[in-house]
Chain A
Amino acid sequence: MTNKERIAGNVAGYVDDRTGAAKWLKKNLTKVFPDHWSFMLGEIALYSFIILLLSGTFLTFWFDPSQRDVIYNGSYAPLSHVQMSAAYASTLHISFDVRGGLLMRQIHHWAALIFMTAIVVHLLRVFFTGAFRKPREFNWLIGVGLLTLGIVEGFLGYSLPDDLLSGTGIRIAEAIIQAIPVVGSYLSFFAFGGPFPGHVFIPRIYMVHILLLPGIFLALITIHLMLVWYQKHTQYPGPGRTEKNVVGYPLMPVYMAKAGGFFFIVFGVTAFLGGVASINPIWLYGPYTPGQISAGSQPDWYMGWLDGLVRMSPPIETHAFGHTISWNILIPGLIIPGILFTGMALYPFIESWITGDKREHHLLDRPRNVPNRTALGIMSLTFMLISLINGGNDIIATHFHLTINGIMWFTRIGLFTIPPIAFVITKRICLSLQRADRDLVLHGRETGRLVMTPAGEFIEVHEPISAAKAWTLTQHLQDPALAIENVDEHGVRNPAGIKGRIRARWSVANAEQIPAATVTERKELEDGHH
């Protein structure tokens, strides 16, 4: 036994003497994780969160979350002796009078943007590969919750410096609160401690931003990861990979080195962005006052789609019985987002209701093999993208010599027409890809080599694909549509008729597939050739 091995043994013994964890640790340190780049997306989000905690803590040492008036006398000359809130002044102080303070601010903001992008692409990966299916529905729900909280947390952080841009954002948030029927003006007064902007809003959201929401995040992320741990990670289909196993590398040491190393890589990339690219230059925006505004006032991208929806809303308000309902705010600001996020949260349950599939799934779907789901995902993505484009219509207009009115009308019409088109096209593409897979398995790979047959005919040589590849392309389940009887044997209509019909219709659409190639078919073809 070498010296090092003896030390390792002693440490392990010391820990087990005090915790009795030897068995548990042995099992978990050799836990297997499948290796794929798309499984790192959630890790980017997790690491960004840790970066946010670290850089955020740094910022709290100097940030003064107060809306009392101060006269600025720091080192940024163009704002010298300007009246502003202490929150804004202390953000300037962090930026220009704390060495590395601006770097930390920028790292914090870039990390926030990357946090949200990573959550979104992670969610897309989970959606398109069907990783949300039984038994992982809880984790999908937690994920949707984290996304929603992330949007709120990001918006609050963007609002804290009390600059002209974020103050305009708060003004709009206040208008949304104020527009809520019956209780809106009360809620607004409670939130702002009186008329907008008041002196209490920033201290209040500061506490929510640095304590309440990060606490909830931490709890939810912990559960999210524990479930991943306990349920074991999903894996892509391939030779040797089944519903009953998980193939990959052990946590100790390979995965630990890779995942741990990746944390530093994410932090490094964020620091690089924080060093070379300016983000949220609040000193240029100026302090907030309700009488000022800048051309091109936008929120950060994860709120941009919401702003885009609000911009394209038709001008509808109801005035009746001495009351006003602002549909132009409620529909794009609360109702549509509510429907979108509820639909997203419930999707795993809706899909399993439609397919009648109650089995456990640990092998991921290739998106082409589930055309309906993939098309639905692309459709939703198109909807969000069109909204997002309208959220930046003024910047797009000036940079591409378009008109804001033109972009607005394009997105107003496009919001309803383009997503369905995207659905149809995506579904067709998926089916074509399935057909291509089938042809590949049956006919082999085109080699590009031409051979002349004795009859003088030129044919391209096809090479049969490997057994592993053939398995990967044909292993997926192709369940038939549910047989739902709307009429029972006595000719009486099923009381759940409409629900049943919707389910049946969707089930049929869902089951639209190109049959996977089989050995029998390939044999028949080969026999035909010879």
Chain B
Amino acid sequence: MNHEFEKFSDPGLPEHVHRNADVDPIAEKRAEQQVAILFVLSALGTILLIGSYIFIKPSSFIYLPVLGDTNTQQLLLGVGMAMSLFFIGMGAVQWARKLMSDTEVIAERHEFRSPDEDRADFVATVKEQAALADVGRRTLIKRSLGLALGLAGLSPLILLRDLGPLPKKEFDTTDWKKGTRLVTDPGDRPIKPSDLEVGAVAQVLPELSGGTVRSLENIGKDAVLLIRLRPEEFNLDTERLSWTHEGIIAFSKICSHMGCAVALYEQQTKHLLCPCHQSTFDVTRAAKVIFGPAARPLPQLAITIDADGYLVAQQPFTEPVGPSFWERSS
């Protein structure tokens, strides 16, 4: 700043202006009544809450504009509770605004920094105590203490080891094996190729071997989407084409990006869309990624038919399904 310029100066706290309620007894009375009305409204709210809890059936509904058909009890409990709390607060605030002293008070601040003398004392004390303890010199003790503390910090990590088993082949394998039948989800019915028209999809899972129960872990790896196209619509290499059957192609439904279920199939464009992050896969080109964050195509399941004419897997998935992980090789 240029020093020859005279700056504006602080005129100090403005004079206190009295409120109506401070000078006019009628206004004061009115303010008092306002506060009382607010508190009474709160009491009414609580009565509404209690009344609707006891007298209104949980199964009754009421039609209101904007809200539509609404559960009466839930609504009135909420409105009653809201009134009961809100107006206590409004009353208290109005009381403070209108009737309690509104003279502004000035409090002094003090710098947090201690006086130089105290600081010097403090530093000297720290140094003195450190010297007494010989912290500076006892290297052996310092290092061994560091070692001890560091190792002690490891113990919670060690103790948390049993949170779960170590991964073995779980990320790489699914329950699809050579000859596993494809069955509908839900319903568990085997499927023949003739069951699917062109343009049809089916959500399928591997058939259960007798007596086993399907867990969410199984579904999380095994879910497959079956799509039927006209065979000439495919744009696949010979190997991948041999994995289809009469225009029916099967993909893992678990997104190769973050594991959501990819099942938005657009029949006209032959695109599959993941609703979580909008990765888009082209079914005709073996689920090649054409948009969005996914970096890999959805794994394709090779399918054929068994002796009874039902769709089965030719072989397990040739790559891990679902999101990437460090040990994944491709």
**A interface residues, Cβ below 8 angstroms from B:** 30-32, 96, 99-100, 102-103, 106-107, 135, 168, 171-172, 174-176, 178-186, 188-198, 200, 231-232, 239-240, 242-250, 253-255, 257-258, 260-269, 271-272, 274-276, 288-297, 307, 310-317, 319, 322-326, 328-329, 332, 360, 362, 393-394, 404-405, 408, 441, 467-468, 470-471, 474-475, 478, 515-521
**Chain B residues with CB below 8 A from A171, complex form:** 220, 258-260
The 10 closest A-B pairs by CB, nearest first: A275-B78, A268-B86, A240-B13, A261-B92, A264-B89, A265-B89, A290-B220, A272-B82, A257-B96, A175-B258
Q: Pick the residue among A247, A257, A315 that contacts B13 (CB under 8 A).
A: A247
A-B contact count (CB 8 A): 333
Residues of chain A within 8 A of B100, CB atoms compared: 253-254, 257
Q: Complex Cα distance A437/B67, Å?
A: 47
User: What residues of B have a CB within 8 angstroms of the CB of A178 in the complex?
Assistant: 171, 323-325
Cβ of B261 and Cβ of A293 under 8 Å apart? yes
CB neighbours (8 Å) of A292 from chain B are 261
* B329 pairs with A319, CB closer than 8 A: yes
Closest to B223 in A: A291
Residues A311 and B221 in contact, CB atoms below 8 Å apart: no
- Find out whether the CB atom of B327 lies under 8 angstroms from the CB atom of A394: no
Whether the pair B13, A520 counts as a contact (CB closer than 8 A) is no
Q: Is the CB of B8 within 8 A of A518?
A: yes
Interface code B86-111, partner A: CB below 8 Å = 1, 0 otherwise?
11111111011100111011111101
A242, B11: Cα distance in complex, Å = 12
Contact A262 B10 (CB under 8 A): no
Q: Which of B117-125, B229-237, B291-299 contacts A (4 or more CB under 8 A)?
A: B291-299
Chain A residues in 8 Å Cβ range of B291? 405, 408
Secondary structure call for the B interface: loop
Residues in A neighbouring B138, C-beta threshold 8 A = none
Most buried by B among A242, A261, A292: A261
Taking A325-B326, A516-B7, A519-B5 as known contacts, 12 extra A-B pairs with beta carbons closer than 8 A to each other, sorted by chain A number, are A168-B276, A175-B258, A232-B107, A246-B106, A246-B109, A261-B95, A271-B81, A272-B78, A276-B75, A311-B293, A313-B293, A329-B257
Q: How far is the CA of A250 from the CA of B217 in the complex (A)?
A: 60
Q: Which residues of A contact B88 (CB under 8 A)?
A: 261, 264, 268
Least CB separation from A201: chain B residue: B164
Chain B residues near A271 (CB, 8 Å)?
78, 81-82, 85-86
B residues in contact with A515, CB < 8 Å = 1
A-B contact pairs, 6 of them (CB 8 A): A103-B77, A172-B276, A265-B86, A275-B82, A324-B325, A324-B329
CB distance from A480 to the nearest CB of B (A): 8
B253 is an interface residue with CB less than 8 A from chain A: yes
B318 at the interface (CB under 8 A from A): no
